[in-house]
Structures are given as C-alpha cells and as structure tokens.
Structure 1
Amino acid sequence: MAIRKIGIIMNGVTGRMGTNQHLMRSIVAIRSQGGIPLPGGDTLLPDPILVGRDEHKLRALAETHDIERWSTNLAECLANPEDEIYFDAQTTTRRADALRAAIRAGKHIYCEKPIATDVSTALELAELADHAGVKHGVVQDKLFLPGLLKLKRVIDSGFFGRILSVRGEFGYWVFEGDWQTAQRPSWNYKKEDGGGIIVDMLCHWQYVLDNLFGRVTSVSCLGAIHIPERVDEQGQKYTCTADDAAYATFQLENGIIAHFNSSWAVRVYRDELLTLQVDGTHGSASAGLRECKVQSRVNTPRAVWNPDVPNPIRFQENWMDVPDNGAFDNGFKAQWELFLKHVVLDTPFRWNLYEGAKGVQLAELGLQSWAERRWLDVPLLTGSKED
C-alpha cells in the first residue's frame, strides 16, 4: 500500500487549455482525489513541474494549486530522470522541437493536438518515439465527452441499422476583442503562428469519425476568414490571416457521408456548442457535449412539405433521451488517467502519435482542398499503425 509518484513535465500550462483542462481539471483533480488506484493497493500520484516562458504566471499558477515545482528552463527539466513524462500544450509551431528534445531525453510523450504543423513532421515524431522506445499519446478529448460516449453506446447496440450520414455543427461567436474581450487567443487567427480552425478542428473530426464511424477516405473543404480584423490581448488591431470557419465534407470507407460546419463566427441556436446528428435506416440520434437523443423509425413522424399551413408536428417531441447509466468524469482527466496507467502498467492506449499524425494529415488535406477547390483522397499513412 504505497504511494508511487510519477514526475510530469507540463510545458505550456499557462495557456487557456493547459491551465483549465490539463492542470486544474486533470492533474490537480487527480491529486485532490488522492491519486489513481493501482492493482495490488498502491496509488499513483502525479508530481508535476510547470514549465513555460513567463516566470510570474508560472509562480502564481503553482502557488494557486499547491504545486511545489516550476521552471522556465526546459532543458534542465528534461535532464531530471525523476520526471518520466513530458506533456506539451504549447502553440503548435513550438511543439515539434520540444517533443524531439523530450524524446532524446527518454521521456514518455503526451501532447495536445495538432502534434505538428505538417504530416511529415508528425510522422517523424511518431517514428522517433518508437525508435527511442518511449510510450506516446495524443489528447483526443472529444471521444470522452458524455454525449459521444452515449452515442457510441447507441452505435454499438445496432440501433441505427445501416448508418447513412453524420452532420456536425460546431462553434460559437468569438468576440472581436474591441468591445468585448475575445474568448480565444489572437494566435488562433494568424496563419504564421499556426492558427486556423481547419488546422484545429479537422484534427478533432478525424479521430471522432475514425473511432465512431469509419476511416475517412476523401475530403472536400472550404475555409473562410469571415472576420478580417480583430483586437489582440494588448488592445492592438491586427489582420486575421487564418481561417475562422470551415465547411468540410468527408467520405468514409463504409459509404457514410459526413459533413461538419466549424466556425468561430456563428451565433449558437442549438442545445450545445457541438451537435452531431447521425441518420440510419432504422433510427437517428442527435448527440452533444453531454446529451444524446434518439428517434427510431417507428417513432418517426410523417412529415409532408406544405408551407401554406402551420406546421402540425412538434418534431423534437418525438425524440427520447439516452440515459446516463453511469457517472462521467472530465474527458481530459479520464484520458490522462488512461495514459498514466499505460506508462506505469503497460495497459493499452491506442491514441498514440501515429493517430495524431492522421489528424494532421486530414487538416493538411483540408487546407489543400480549399486552396485547389477540389476533392482529395486521404491515403493510408506510410508507417502508421492502422488497425
């Protein structure tokens, strides 16, 4: 009955996602619950060191969350053999060099996506990690959302019959920064800094489609810069050079058609910021971040197009809630716990750097499709560990 500490170098945790999801709601939460129970009665306790460029932010973050260690010197951190894992939540353009250094230092790798700015670098990182014999994983948080976990349960039950199509709506209005503060950092809207919603969100849609519905075999994508000028964190106007909306259609290997609208320039008129509608021959489902509703073919109302009379059908009343049937933990925390057990116990963890490379590949092809205004095939990645 011993406490086993595991050192984690957490780089980039002063950013919004790194602070909120990975530090506060994952590592701090795991520490607050007393750690992760291991077989035999031992407990695994994360021992993080916070790394970044801003000494004041790091010190304040560490003090707020009762974390003893922080540093602005990544090289010194990587040299410490007590820290077994390197985690990266920096901006994408800084990620590859830091991951290479961590792999050379023999650290197990866990990182945010996109794992790189191009697919060749993404595959290089995966191969480097394999050759070094270190374990590696990529954050794929949408798979752990309660709504999508319920949707997966519906899929596995055979409820849909033959699945025909998937329609995804994601996004919200990000304020321009002039009369209200923007909810996203300014680098998200600068292509030169690795920004853009295609790079960001097509990585997500790749693993959602791949894990729930089937492999993407072709893509057509149209991007847009709907808001051409914004105001940054210092109150300065800047020109947006990266897309803030993406309209993408995917063909899957099993004939399913998927279409996702992703936008940071859309006002929400739906139940949640992300909704997926799945239609099949025997039934349909609508899933969000937390909820999932279904409609079977026997509950499907007979809709008739007649704009000359008031609509007699309240369509949403014919859908039923999928029950929780259990408790759902924070998705980032759940995946952190799986990765930590993977490192310590060698339990399975399929979301590795090769899986992350597939997301980079789809984003890269999405940008190419937009530039060339055409459909593109999505080839199997050379060296990737396809199931």
Structure 2
Amino acid sequence: MATRRIGIIMNGVTGRMGTNQHLVRSIVALRNEGGVRLANGDRLMPDPILVGRNEEKLRALAKAHGIERWSNDLAACLANSEDEIYFDAQTTTRRVESVSAAIRAGKHIYCEKPTATDTESALALARQASAAGVKHGVVQDKLFLPGLMKLKRVIESGFFGRILSVRGEFGYWVFEGDWQEAQRPSWNYRQEEGGGIIVDMLCHWRYVLANLFGEIQSLSCLGATHIPERVDERGHTYAATADDAAYATFELEGGIVAHFNSSWCVRVYRDELLSIQVDGTHGSAVAGLRECKVQSRVNTPRAIWNPDVPNPIDFYASWQDVPDNEVFANAFKVQWELFLKHVVDDEPFAWDLLAGARGVQVAELGLRSWRERRWVDVPDLIDEAR
C-alpha cells in the first residue's frame, strides 16, 4: 500500500467556517487518519497550503495544526503545478475572480456556496470549468448531516406514502454585538459585501429539497431586516443593509409544498437549530441536524380542537427515533473525501458548479420575489455547463 500526496490550495480558511469545518474537521482530520483510502488500496494524503490576506493569522493557523505551508500570494500558489486542487472559502464577493483564475491555471475546483452573487456569474464559472476539462464541486454539506441522511433512508423506504408537504425551521438569535459578541461576522449583515440570509440559506434549501423531494418549480419569498443596527468586530455600530430573516414557500415537482423559515433573529424552542417536518399520507417525520423521529398513521393520536379543557394528549409520546444504524462522520469531511476520490479515482460526484449555480438562481429569484412581492417560476438552467 502506497501513500500518494495531493496538494490543495485552501483560500479563505482563516474565517470561521473555513477554519473549523474545512481545515480542522476535514483536511486535518483526514491527515490524522492517514489520508483517504483509494480504490486500489493506496492512501491519498492531503497536503494543504493555506492562503489568505492576513499573514499573522495564516502563520498562527498553520502552526496550530502542524501545516508547513502558507502564503498570501494566490497567483504564486496557482502557478505551482504540484498543487492540483483549489478550494475557496472566501466571502462570496471575492469568489468568482479567484475561482476563475484557478480554472485558468488548470486546477480542479472545490468551493463553498454560494458560488457567486448572481446566477449568470455562477453559470459562467460552471461553463468555464467544463470547457477547461477540470473537475469541480460545491459544498452541499447538509446532505451529509446524520438527521437528513436518516430522513433520506425513511423516504426511500416508502414510509410516507404520498408526500404532501415539507416545513423547515432554521435559525437562532445572533447577538447584536453591543452587549454580547455576535456569533457571525459583520459582513453577513451588509448587502454590499454579499451578506443576507436569503443569499446564504436559499442555496442550502434548493439542494436539500432537490435531493430529497424534487426540484423547485416556483417560489414566493419575503425577506426582512429585523435588526437595523449591529456592532462589528471592532466595536463600531453599523447599519444592517442585508436581510436577517427569510420566509419562503416553494412548489416542488409532484405537487409537494415546502415552506422554510430562516432567521438570525429567532430564539430556539425546538430540539435542534434546524428542524424539517415531512408529512405524508401514511406517516410523518421530523429531522434535525443529528436526529430523526417518525410517526406512522397507525400511531397518530386523534386530536380534537377543544380549547376549553386542558390538552389530554402527549403529542410527543407516539413518535419513534430512527436508529443510527451506522457511524456518521462530519458532513464536511464526508464530502471532502468524496471530492478527493472524484479527482483521483474518477468516482461520481453530482454536486458540481452547475448545482451551485442552481442554488444561486433560487436565492436570486427569492430576492426578486421579495422585491416584486409575487410568486416567480424557477426555470431549469441549461445543462450545457456540465
């Protein structure tokens, strides 16, 4: 059994998501496990070079995790033929230029979503990568969450009968930054810097819905900026110019209706930060980040509306846990493994830059629906980008 090196240019990993999920819990974890096992039994060892604008942060991050290489010169990194993959976790407004440069340099592309701030730019990246013959993928981590993987198992078993509707609740209270430090960076609340929960989360809901239930046919979305002022990382008060909550309804293939509330201005009263309820003719399920519960029609209690007496039914009692039945790894790490195998072993990888463009399209149409206060159709993007 041999060990093969693969060089990865990791741009933007000093940010919260880039550090925690992509570097520490994915690439560093894979290195600590001895690399990724390939089809022939060899091990593929990721060799990252950390790239960013802050030299001090890069040096400290590399030292903390035993990584030898870092740089603030992206052009020089792209010129190095020994690094085959370019990964981008920068803010959205910087992504198109950097990813495009990496494609021109012949690098395989793996990047965070959204891939761009508008559909045409996202689709142009997909077409450029396809024309260049490089492999490309987009992070769609929620597909690999234990709760959603259990939900997919339930769907594939036929448990629901005919699925009628999907209801999602996502979010938590992000502190304003005045009396407690905010849990999210300030650019998230600046439209001019690519912020906004519609741009962020509707990309997620597109691939979740498409992969579990069916493609989105049309949508209606209402956004809101509930907190008009926040305090940034330097203690400066600023005007929040981006939406911090979104209330979206989707019509899916097959007549399924899905509704998702996404908010950074909601206090959590549910088991997990994400909750997705699916109702069907034969049963229902509630899935979160890690858990999934089901209730069949034979276990459904007979509810009767009577507000004049205390409720006699424990509505939680007749729900059952879907068992793990397998060991679930970190969702980001799972997709990193799949992409690395795609690059080296040519294993299938469905979540490419065209899939990323479809997410951007749904977000852009969500903003349009809010602006025009109406339902909008979601046309299929031309498949020529594959």
TM over 0.5, yes or no? yes
How far apart are the structure 1 equivalents of 2:336 and 2:40? 21
- Judge conservation of contact 2:127–2:385 (CA < 8 Å) in 1: no
Q: Is the 8 A contact 1:146 1:289 kept in 2?
A: yes
Whether 2:211 is the aligned partner of 1:192: answer no
On the 8 A contact 2:7/2:85 being kept in 1, the answer is yes
The residue aligned with 2:9 is 9
Return the offset for 1:253.
1.4
Would the aligned equivalents of 1:13 and 1:51 in 2 still touch at CA under 8 Å?
A: yes
| CA deviations over 1:307-332 (Å, ceiling 9, x no partner) | 00000000011100000001000000
TM-score, with length taken from structure 2: 0.99
Alignment partners' CA distance in 2, 1:354 and 1:371? 25
The alpha-carbon deviation at position 385 of structure 1 amounts to 6.5
Give a deviation string over 1:106-163, Cα, whole Å, max 9, x none.
Answer: 0000000000000000010000000000000000000000000000000000000000
SS of match in other structure, 2:358 = helix
State the Cα deviation string for residues 10-48 of structure 1 (Å, max 9, x = none). 000000000000000000000001101112321000000
Runs of 5+ unmatched residues, structure 2: none
Report what 1:219 is aligned to: 219
Rounded Cα–Cα distance in structure 2 between residues aligned with 1:156 and 1:336: 25
- Would you say the 8 A contact 1:49–1:70 is kept in 2? yes
1:259-298 superposed matches below 5 A: 259-298=259-298
C-alpha displacement of 1:338? 0.1
Q: CA separation in 2, counterparts of 1:99 and 1:262? A: 28
Task: List aligned pairs for 1:166-245, cutoff 5 A.
Answer: 166-245=166-245
**How many pairs were matched up?**
386
* Contact 2:137/2:339 (<8 A) preserved: yes
Give the aligned partner of residue 106 of structure 2: 106
> C-alpha separation between the residues in 1 aligned to 2:200 and 2:225?
14
CA displacement, residues 221-249 of structure 1 (integer Å, 9 cap, x when unaligned): 00000000000000000000000000000
How far, CA to CA, are the matches of 1:260 and 1:37 in structure 2? Answer: 38
Provide the C-alpha distance between the structure 2 equivalents of 1:338 and 1:139, rounded to a whole number of angstroms. 11
Cα separation, 2, equivalents of 1:161 and 1:195: 39
Cα distance in 1 for partners of 2:262, 2:52 equals: 30
Does structure 2 retain, via aligned residues, the 8 Å contact 1:279–1:285?
Answer: yes
Distance 1:308 1:384 in 2: 61
> Are residue 161 (structure 1) and residue 161 (structure 2) matched?
yes
For 1:289 and 1:320, the matched residues in 2 are separated by 17
**Residue number in structure 2 paired with 1:325:** 325
Q: Which residue number in structure 2 is paired with residue 44 of structure 1? A: 44
Quick one: distance in 2 between partners of 1:39 and 1:25? 23
Paired position in structure 2 for 1:57: 57
The aligned amino acid for 1:78 is L
Q: How far 1:382 moved relative to its partner?
A: 2.0
TM alignment of 1:243-258, pairs within 5 A: 243-258=243-258
2:90 is equivalent to residue 80 of structure 1? no
Which runs of structure 2 are paired with 1:113-124 in the superposition (5 Å)?
A: 113-124=113-124
CA distance in 1 between partners of 2:113 and 2:53 (Å): 20
SS at the partner of 2:167? Answer: strand
Instruction: Give 1:330's aligned amino acid.
Output: N
Letter in 2 for 1:268: V
- Check whether the contact 1:354–1:384 (CA below 8 A) recurs between aligned residues: no
Report the TM-score, using the length of structure 1 for normalisation.
Answer: 0.99
Task: Work out the CA distance in 1 between the residues paired with 2:133 and 2:362.
Answer: 27
Tell me if structure 1 keeps the 8 A contact 2:39–2:345: no
1:348 partner SS: coil
Cα distance in 2 between the residues matched to 1:123 and 1:198? 19
Q: In structure 2, what residue type is equivalent to 1:141? A: D
Partner secondary structure for residue 254 of structure 2: coil
Q: 1:18-33 residue pairs with structure 2 within 5 A?
A: 18-33=18-33
Aligned match of 1:299: 299
Question: RMSD between aligned alpha carbons?
Answer: 0.7
Whole-angstrom CA distance in 2 between matches of 1:356 and 1:270: 30
Q: What residue ranges of structure 1 are gaps of 5+ in the alignment?
A: none
Q: Distance in 2 between matches of 1:61 and 1:214?
A: 41
Q: Is the 8 A contact 2:245 2:264 kept in 1?
A: yes
Indicate conservation of the 8 Å contact 2:6/2:46, yes or no. Answer: yes
The answer for the alignment partner of 2:92 in structure 1 is: 92
Alignment check: 8 A CA contact 1:273 1:288 kept: yes
- CA 1:348 to 1:152, structure 2 compared with 1: closer, same or farther past 3 Å? same
| CA distance in 1 between partners of 2:384 and 2:240 (Å) | 34
Alpha-carbon spacing, 1:384–1:271, altered in 2? closer, same or farther (3 Å)? farther
1:372 match: 372
2:322 partner amino acid? V
Give the share of equivalent positions with the same residue, in percent.
77
Report the alpha carbon displacement of residue 384 of structure 1 after superposing the two structures with TM.
Answer: 5.4
Contact 2:123-2:385 within 8 A present in 1 as well: no
The separation in 2 between residues aligned to 1:209 and 1:254, in whole angstroms, is 12
